[in-house]
Amino acid sequence: MIDATVTQRMQEATRLTRAGKLKEAMALLQGDGDGFKRQQAPIASSQPGNVYESTCQCVEEEVSSVKPEAESSPFGRTRTQEAPDWRSKWTSFQGMAQPGHTPGRSEEAKPGAFTAGSFSNRVGTRDYKIFLPSSYHGQAMPLVVMLHGCTQNPDDFAAGTQMNQLAEEQVFCVLYPAQPISANSSRCWNWFKASDQQRDGGEPEVLAGMTREILDTHKLDATRVYVAGLSAGGAMATTLAMTYPELFAAVGVHSGLPHGVAKSLPDALAAMQGGAPGAKGQGRHPASSVPAIIFHGDRDTTVHLSNAERVAAQYAITQGKGDVDAGRAAGGHGYTRTVYRDAMGEARLEQWRIHGAGHAWAGGSSLGSYTDPKGPDASKEMLRFFMQHHH
């Protein structure tokens, strides 16, 4: 059970952050550092060797539309509804709300179906869901890894981004790793913890191992593997690009944060509000050579727009000024896009600033949470960018 006092402190810190009282929020959390650590369950105890264990089970193909009401620390609410009872909320998300998911039972992933599975290695275990297009018959095809945001799950993220529908049309595989409550009470990927920012350790090792196993199991194209994420998922996506650049041919970061900019929850809150890193030397990392496409709304009050520039700076693989164009989604938001190219003229970095948009997946479906149907369509634009790149 999560300590009630810790829960109350997290709720109060979130309220203070939303009210712009960042200093008070950090002071509250720093005053209960041990309590916060107690609720963050370790990813798993290390085991010798590098043994993969995986189970799969076919569940309903239709995507459910789970709509969490609010995000808790380190990400604040992005909706206006009243927050539900926290313990009821945690209970409702327990087990991914998948009544047919029985760990240990194995069933082969079927083309056209949304299949649940589980991956384990020496570091830990994570559930996932995978979508193979109905036209899959063993051919090598691209793989897109999708990392959900806080309080979300694979079903919700698939519904909101509509990535499975695009996979059916464009013929690629989609993998959705799932963050459990045991690892983070709000299902956030732990992008702000030093132990989860390194190669060969923590969540990056689990996610990279899961990706490799899916590649091997389904004989997918290892030269065309991409990762994208929203919010905390976007932050972890860029961490994967930094720690496993040989695995991912391109990365998509939506409303995310830079790699290594925070080492604790107070650091995370400061970074999210656009403040400077909280410790000397944080955020100073070698630039990644992985091509990147970045989306951020300029009305985002959860993750400050300045983080988009910080993320882009970690992909400093361009020369000179970028090509800038402006446009507007049909009946929706305007945007400014900046494209940076290498010496050969190949686009290596795209930055999309969406005017009037908040903390939500651009062009997403209202069937999922934290989406903005007013566009532009981030899913389609990411895929366009991804398919231009391969190892």
Helix (H, G, I), strand (E, B) or coil at 331: coil
pLDDT of residue 318: 54
**Are the CB atoms for 369 and 151 separated by under 8 Å?**
yes
The pLDDT assigned to 61 comes to 36
- pLDDT band (50, 70, 90) for residue 244: very high
In the predicted structure, residue 171 carries a pLDDT above the cut 50: yes
pLDDT of 218 > 60? The answer is yes
pLDDT at 333 over 60: yes
Q: What is the pLDDT of residues 53-87, one digit of tens each?
A: 344 443 333 333 333 333 344 554 333 332 333 33
Question: Cβ neighbours of residue 196 under 8 Å, at least 6 residues apart?
Answer: 43, 189, 190, 202, 203, 204, 236, 239
- What pLDDT score was predicted for residue 349? 95
Q: How many helices (H) and strands (E) does the chain have?
A: 11, 13
Q: Identify the three-state secondary structure at position 226.
A: strand
Q: What is the predicted pLDDT for the residue at 36? A: 38
Structure-model confidence comparison of residues 296 and 82, the more confident one: 296
User: Domains of the chain (ranges plus CATH)?
Assistant: 1-39 (no CATH), 53-386 (3.40.50.1820)
Query: Highest mean pLDDT range out of 87-101, 329-343, 353-367?
Result: 353-367
> Which residues face 324 on adjacent strands?
338
Question: Mean pLDDT, the chain, as a whole number?
Answer: 79
Rounded to 5°, the CA angle 244-211-188 comes to 80
Would you say residue 153 has pLDDT above 50? yes
Cα separation, 24 vs 16, in Å, equals 7
Contacts of 218 (CB under 8 A, 6+ apart): 109, 132, 136, 138, 173
CA dist., res. 378 & res. 164, Å (int): 14
Q: Where are the alpha helices (DSSP H) in the chain?
A: 4-18, 22-30, 33-39, 86-93, 154-161, 163-170, 202-218, 232-243, 265-272, 306-313, 378-386
pLDDT at 38 over 60: no
**Does the reported pTM lie above 0.85?**
no
- Percent of the chain exceeding pLDDT 70 equals 69
User: What's the rounded mean pLDDT across residues 207-214?
Assistant: 98
Band (5; pLDDT cuts 50, 70, 90):
low
